[in-house]
Amino acid sequence: MTTPTPATPMCDRLRALGRWNPAWQPFYELDPAWTERFMAMGAAPMLSGVLDPKVIEFIAIAVDASCTHLYAPGVRRHIRQALALGATAEEITAVLQLTSVLGIHTMSLAAPILQEELGPVDATGGLA
């Protein structure tokens, strides 16, 4: 018995707007209802009109360029879209600079642990 494919208006809208990422297709094919709910949750703020489209592109650049995501195709796509919406190189650079600060947490977390594990350090920087 084959389950009928549910309606997926948000996925259909994203396709029509040219904002459908082909990487989403496999999980759409596996579970269109789940994909629809996921896309509706994520895309609703972008499509609501509350934020300026250029700001949305800045947020998307930050998410895709973040050290926890590092998704180059998305960074490229959103930079192009931001430029098309009138963003300047300086604005996009500022977004990337702000996003790069996320990586500092690696040192904030790990440096104190390293110091604890090394134990006391003498005046010359060596272990006491």
Strands, E assignment, the chain: none
128 and 72 assigned to the same domain: yes
Q: What percent of the chain has pLDDT over 70?
A: 92
Residues 87 and 29 in one domain: no
pLDDT in tens, 8-40: 999 999 899 888 989 899 999 999 999 999 999
DSSP H or E segment with residue 42: helix 32-47
43-67 per-position pLDDT tens digit: 888 878 899 999 999 999 999 999 8
Residue type, 122: D
pLDDT at residue 103 above 90?
no
Q: Can you give the pLDDT at residue 128?
A: 61
Residue 41 belongs to domain spanning: 7-50
Tokens of 23: 């990487």
- Token readout for 14 is 């994203």
Q: Are residues 69 and 120 in the same domain?
A: yes
Statement to judge: residues 76 and 123 lie in one domain: yes
The whole-number average pLDDT for the span 97-103 is: 89
